[in-house]
Amino acid sequence: MAFWPKIRTGSRERVCNPDAVPYAVFENVGLTIGARKVLHGLTLSLSEDRVGVIGLNGSGKSTFVRLLNGLRSPTDGKLTLFGAPSAEAEKELPRHVGFVFQNPDHQAIFPTVEEEIAFGLTQLGADKTASREQARRFLSDHGFGALASSPFAELSEGQKQYVCILAVLVMQPRLLVLDEPMTSLDGLSGRKIREKLMSLPQKIVMISHDLSHFEDFDRVLWLEDGRLRMDGPAAEVLAAYEADIDRRLGAGMEVAAL
Protein backbone atom coordinates (compact mmCIF):
# COMPACT_ATOMS: atom_id res chain seq x y z
CA MET A 1 0.00 0.00 0.00
CA ALA A 2 2.89 2.32 0.70
CA PHE A 3 3.55 2.80 -3.01
CA TRP A 4 0.32 4.69 -3.53
CA PRO A 5 0.99 8.37 -4.11
CA LYS A 6 -0.55 11.00 -1.91
CA ILE A 7 -3.51 12.79 -3.40
CA ARG A 8 -2.31 16.11 -4.79
CA THR A 9 -4.02 19.06 -3.24
CA GLY A 10 -2.44 21.71 -5.50
CA SER A 11 -1.93 25.33 -4.58
CA ARG A 12 -5.46 26.33 -5.64
CA GLU A 13 -7.76 27.08 -2.77
CA ARG A 14 -9.90 24.07 -1.96
CA VAL A 15 -13.59 24.49 -2.54
CA CYS A 16 -14.84 21.28 -0.99
CA ASN A 17 -13.67 19.53 2.12
CA PRO A 18 -13.25 15.80 1.39
CA ASP A 19 -13.70 14.94 5.05
CA ALA A 20 -16.95 16.84 5.37
CA VAL A 21 -19.65 14.96 7.22
CA PRO A 22 -22.20 14.68 5.69
CA TYR A 23 -20.63 14.23 2.26
CA ALA A 24 -23.88 14.93 0.39
CA VAL A 25 -26.89 17.02 1.36
CA PHE A 26 -29.94 17.03 -0.93
CA GLU A 27 -32.52 19.76 -0.37
CA ASN A 28 -35.61 19.25 -2.49
CA VAL A 29 -33.40 18.13 -5.41
CA GLY A 30 -35.03 17.35 -8.74
CA LEU A 31 -33.61 16.48 -12.14
CA THR A 32 -35.24 16.89 -15.52
CA ILE A 33 -33.66 15.30 -18.60
CA GLY A 34 -35.12 16.65 -21.82
CA ALA A 35 -38.84 16.84 -21.20
CA ARG A 36 -38.74 14.13 -18.56
CA LYS A 37 -38.65 14.68 -14.82
CA VAL A 38 -36.45 11.81 -13.65
CA LEU A 39 -35.88 12.74 -9.99
CA HIS A 40 -38.34 14.59 -7.73
CA GLY A 41 -38.07 16.40 -4.40
CA LEU A 42 -35.19 14.48 -2.88
CA THR A 43 -34.36 15.68 0.61
CA LEU A 44 -31.75 13.66 2.48
CA SER A 45 -28.31 13.87 3.94
CA LEU A 46 -25.63 11.18 3.49
CA SER A 47 -22.93 10.60 6.07
CA GLU A 48 -22.95 6.83 6.65
CA ASP A 49 -20.07 4.55 5.67
CA ARG A 50 -22.24 2.14 3.66
CA VAL A 51 -25.35 3.31 1.82
CA GLY A 52 -27.29 1.04 -0.53
CA VAL A 53 -29.63 2.20 -3.29
CA ILE A 54 -32.43 -0.07 -4.48
CA GLY A 55 -35.46 0.22 -6.74
CA LEU A 56 -37.03 -1.25 -9.83
CA ASN A 57 -35.59 -0.74 -13.31
CA GLY A 58 -35.99 2.87 -14.39
CA SER A 59 -36.67 4.15 -10.86
CA GLY A 60 -33.80 6.66 -11.08
CA LYS A 61 -30.97 4.91 -9.20
CA SER A 62 -28.19 5.50 -11.76
CA THR A 63 -29.32 9.07 -12.31
CA PHE A 64 -29.36 9.68 -8.56
CA VAL A 65 -25.81 8.41 -7.95
CA ARG A 66 -24.54 10.40 -10.93
CA LEU A 67 -25.37 13.52 -8.97
CA LEU A 68 -22.73 12.47 -6.44
CA ASN A 69 -19.80 12.80 -8.82
CA GLY A 70 -20.99 15.65 -11.01
CA LEU A 71 -21.94 13.52 -14.02
CA ARG A 72 -25.38 15.04 -13.56
CA SER A 73 -26.38 18.34 -11.96
CA PRO A 74 -29.68 19.07 -10.27
CA THR A 75 -32.17 21.13 -12.23
CA ASP A 76 -34.17 21.91 -9.07
CA GLY A 77 -33.30 22.36 -5.42
CA LYS A 78 -29.91 22.49 -3.78
CA LEU A 79 -27.18 19.86 -3.61
CA THR A 80 -24.14 20.23 -1.37
CA LEU A 81 -21.19 17.87 -1.92
CA PHE A 82 -18.34 17.68 0.59
CA GLY A 83 -19.52 20.93 2.11
CA ALA A 84 -19.65 22.96 -1.14
CA PRO A 85 -22.51 23.76 -3.52
CA SER A 86 -22.43 21.06 -6.23
CA ALA A 87 -21.68 23.51 -9.06
CA GLU A 88 -18.57 24.73 -7.23
CA ALA A 89 -17.49 21.26 -6.05
CA GLU A 90 -17.69 19.73 -9.55
CA LYS A 91 -14.07 20.33 -10.59
CA GLU A 92 -12.68 18.71 -7.44
CA LEU A 93 -15.03 15.74 -7.37
CA PRO A 94 -12.89 13.39 -9.54
CA ARG A 95 -10.25 13.46 -6.79
CA HIS A 96 -12.70 12.59 -4.07
CA VAL A 97 -15.28 10.36 -5.71
CA GLY A 98 -14.51 7.10 -7.50
CA PHE A 99 -17.32 6.00 -9.78
CA VAL A 100 -17.82 2.46 -11.09
CA PHE A 101 -20.22 2.48 -14.02
CA GLN A 102 -23.07 0.04 -14.58
CA ASN A 103 -21.51 -0.84 -17.95
CA PRO A 104 -17.71 -1.39 -17.84
CA ASP A 105 -17.43 -0.37 -21.51
CA HIS A 106 -18.63 3.12 -20.50
CA GLN A 107 -15.81 3.41 -18.00
CA ALA A 108 -12.67 1.98 -19.57
CA ILE A 109 -10.87 4.26 -22.00
CA PHE A 110 -7.45 2.66 -22.43
CA PRO A 111 -6.51 -0.34 -24.59
CA THR A 112 -4.92 -2.52 -21.90
CA VAL A 113 -5.75 -3.42 -18.32
CA GLU A 114 -2.45 -2.04 -17.04
CA GLU A 115 -2.93 1.30 -18.79
CA GLU A 116 -6.42 1.59 -17.37
CA ILE A 117 -5.08 1.19 -13.83
CA ALA A 118 -2.02 3.37 -14.48
CA PHE A 119 -4.18 6.23 -15.74
CA GLY A 120 -5.67 6.78 -12.28
CA LEU A 121 -2.18 6.96 -10.80
CA THR A 122 -1.02 9.55 -13.34
CA GLN A 123 -4.12 11.56 -12.48
CA LEU A 124 -2.87 11.61 -8.91
CA GLY A 125 0.54 12.90 -9.92
CA ALA A 126 2.69 9.79 -10.52
CA ASP A 127 4.90 9.90 -13.63
CA LYS A 128 4.21 7.52 -16.49
CA THR A 129 6.90 4.94 -15.73
CA ALA A 130 6.18 4.86 -12.01
CA SER A 131 2.44 4.59 -12.60
CA ARG A 132 2.87 1.60 -14.95
CA GLU A 133 5.11 -0.12 -12.39
CA GLN A 134 2.65 0.57 -9.59
CA ALA A 135 -0.25 -0.58 -11.74
CA ARG A 136 1.48 -3.91 -12.42
CA ARG A 137 2.11 -4.44 -8.70
CA PHE A 138 -1.43 -3.49 -7.81
CA LEU A 139 -2.83 -5.93 -10.39
CA SER A 140 -0.58 -8.76 -9.10
CA ASP A 141 -1.63 -8.01 -5.53
CA HIS A 142 -5.24 -8.49 -6.65
CA GLY A 143 -4.65 -11.68 -8.63
CA PHE A 144 -4.76 -9.92 -12.00
CA GLY A 145 -1.03 -9.93 -12.79
CA ALA A 146 -1.41 -12.40 -15.67
CA LEU A 147 -3.95 -10.14 -17.38
CA ALA A 148 -2.00 -6.87 -16.97
CA SER A 149 -1.09 -6.53 -20.63
CA SER A 150 -4.37 -7.98 -21.96
CA PRO A 151 -6.57 -5.78 -24.15
CA PHE A 152 -9.51 -4.61 -22.03
CA ALA A 153 -11.91 -5.35 -24.88
CA GLU A 154 -10.94 -9.03 -24.84
CA LEU A 155 -11.77 -9.62 -21.17
CA SER A 156 -14.91 -11.42 -20.05
CA GLU A 157 -17.69 -9.21 -18.66
CA GLY A 158 -16.86 -10.25 -15.10
CA GLN A 159 -13.16 -9.54 -15.60
CA LYS A 160 -14.06 -6.12 -17.01
CA GLN A 161 -16.15 -5.33 -13.94
CA TYR A 162 -13.34 -6.42 -11.65
CA VAL A 163 -10.81 -4.24 -13.51
CA CYS A 164 -13.14 -1.23 -13.37
CA ILE A 165 -13.45 -1.62 -9.60
CA LEU A 166 -9.66 -1.93 -9.27
CA ALA A 167 -9.16 1.14 -11.51
CA VAL A 168 -11.20 3.18 -9.06
CA LEU A 169 -9.75 1.61 -5.91
CA VAL A 170 -6.18 2.34 -6.95
CA MET A 171 -6.98 6.05 -6.74
CA GLN A 172 -8.08 5.77 -3.10
CA PRO A 173 -11.04 8.12 -3.37
CA ARG A 174 -12.84 9.34 -0.24
CA LEU A 175 -16.18 8.12 -1.55
CA LEU A 176 -16.81 5.12 -3.79
CA VAL A 177 -19.98 5.11 -5.88
CA LEU A 178 -20.76 1.76 -7.45
CA ASP A 179 -23.57 1.25 -9.94
CA GLU A 180 -24.37 -2.48 -9.96
CA PRO A 181 -20.69 -3.42 -9.85
CA MET A 182 -21.06 -7.17 -9.44
CA THR A 183 -23.70 -8.29 -11.90
CA SER A 184 -21.27 -10.33 -14.01
CA LEU A 185 -18.93 -11.57 -11.31
CA ASP A 186 -18.91 -15.27 -10.47
CA GLY A 187 -19.57 -16.36 -6.88
CA LEU A 188 -15.89 -16.39 -5.96
CA SER A 189 -14.99 -13.01 -7.51
CA GLY A 190 -18.21 -11.46 -6.20
CA ARG A 191 -17.43 -12.63 -2.65
CA LYS A 192 -13.84 -11.41 -2.92
CA ILE A 193 -14.86 -7.98 -4.16
CA ARG A 194 -17.63 -7.70 -1.59
CA GLU A 195 -15.27 -8.56 1.26
CA LYS A 196 -12.72 -6.12 -0.14
CA LEU A 197 -15.33 -3.35 -0.38
CA MET A 198 -16.58 -3.91 3.14
CA SER A 199 -13.02 -3.72 4.50
CA LEU A 200 -12.21 -0.40 2.83
CA PRO A 201 -11.89 2.81 4.83
CA GLN A 202 -13.81 4.72 2.16
CA LYS A 203 -17.47 5.67 2.30
CA ILE A 204 -19.50 3.63 -0.19
CA VAL A 205 -22.76 4.30 -2.01
CA MET A 206 -23.78 1.24 -4.03
CA ILE A 207 -26.65 0.23 -6.28
CA SER A 208 -27.55 -3.43 -6.59
CA HIS A 209 -30.50 -5.62 -7.42
CA ASP A 210 -28.92 -8.37 -5.31
CA LEU A 211 -30.27 -7.42 -1.89
CA SER A 212 -27.88 -9.79 -0.10
CA HIS A 213 -25.11 -7.27 -0.81
CA PHE A 214 -26.72 -4.83 1.61
CA GLU A 215 -27.05 -7.02 4.68
CA ASP A 216 -24.17 -5.27 6.47
CA PHE A 217 -24.99 -1.79 5.16
CA ASP A 218 -25.82 1.08 7.51
CA ARG A 219 -28.64 2.51 5.43
CA VAL A 220 -30.65 1.75 2.30
CA LEU A 221 -32.50 4.21 0.05
CA TRP A 222 -35.43 2.86 -1.96
CA LEU A 223 -36.23 4.89 -5.06
CA GLU A 224 -39.53 4.60 -6.88
CA ASP A 225 -40.41 6.66 -9.94
CA GLY A 226 -37.62 9.10 -9.12
CA ARG A 227 -38.84 9.67 -5.55
CA LEU A 228 -37.54 8.44 -2.24
CA ARG A 229 -40.06 5.77 -1.29
CA MET A 230 -38.24 4.65 1.88
CA ASP A 231 -34.99 5.49 3.66
CA GLY A 232 -33.71 3.74 6.77
CA PRO A 233 -31.78 0.83 8.29
CA ALA A 234 -30.98 -1.88 5.74
CA ALA A 235 -33.03 -4.66 7.34
CA GLU A 236 -36.23 -2.56 7.46
CA VAL A 237 -35.99 -1.14 3.96
CA LEU A 238 -35.02 -4.46 2.35
CA ALA A 239 -37.93 -6.25 4.06
CA ALA A 240 -40.40 -3.59 2.90
CA TYR A 241 -39.03 -3.67 -0.64
CA GLU A 242 -39.29 -7.45 -0.85
CA ALA A 243 -42.83 -7.31 0.53
CA ASP A 244 -43.70 -4.74 -2.15
CA ILE A 245 -42.30 -6.98 -4.89
CA ASP A 246 -44.35 -9.91 -3.53
CA ARG A 247 -47.42 -7.66 -3.52
CA ARG A 248 -46.82 -6.58 -7.11
CA LEU A 249 -46.34 -10.17 -8.22
CA GLY A 250 -49.48 -11.20 -6.36
CA ALA A 251 -51.45 -8.41 -7.97
CA GLY A 252 -50.09 -9.30 -11.42
CA MET A 253 -48.70 -5.79 -11.83
CA GLU A 254 -46.52 -5.02 -14.84
CA VAL A 255 -42.81 -4.25 -14.51
CA ALA A 256 -41.81 -0.58 -14.59
CA ALA A 257 -42.32 0.99 -18.00
CA LEU A 258 -38.91 1.55 -19.56
How far is 243 from 249, CA to CA, in rounded Å? 10
Residue 55 binds to ligand ATP (criterion: CB under 6 A): yes
Residue 38 binds to ligand ATP (criterion: CB under 6 A): yes
8 Å CB contact between 117 and 147: no
Residue 57 binds to ligand ATP (criterion: CB under 6 A): yes
Residue 62 binds to Mg ion (criterion: CB under 5 A): yes
How far is 146 from 204, CA to CA, in rounded Å? 29
Residue 60 binds to ligand ATP (criterion: CB under 6 A): yes
Q: Which stretch binds ligand ATP (CB under 6 A): 12-20, 33-41, 133-141, 211-219?
A: 33-41
Among 50, 61, 136, 174, binds ligand ATP (CB under 6 A): 61
Whats the size of the chain, residue-wise? 258
How far is 165 from 163, CA to CA, in rounded Å? 5
CA distances from 15 to 26, 79, 83, 171 (A): 18, 14, 8, 20
Q: Which stretch binds ligand ATP (CB under 6 A): 53-61, 74-82, 93-101, 119-127?
A: 53-61
Size of the site for ligand ATP (CB under 6 A): 13
8 Å CB contact between 182 and 190: yes
Q: Which stretch binds Mg ion (CB under 5 A): 55-63, 69-77, 164-172, 195-203?
A: 55-63
Residue 107 binds to Mg ion (criterion: CB under 5 A): no
Residues 6+ apart with CB under 8 A from 71: 99
Which of ligand ATP, Mg ion, none does residue 63 bind (CB under 5 to 8 Å by kind)? ligand ATP
How far is 43 from 162, CA to CA, in rounded Å? 33
- Report the DSSP pairing between strands 227-232 and 219-224: antiparallel
Q: Which stretch binds ligand ATP (CB under 6 A): 57-65, 134-142, 163-171, 241-249?
A: 57-65
By beta-carbon proximity to ligand ATP, the closer residue of 127 and 210 is: 210
Residues in the site for Mg ion, rule: CB under 5 A? 62
Residues in the site for ligand ATP, rule: CB under 6 A? 33-34, 36, 38, 55, 57-63, 102
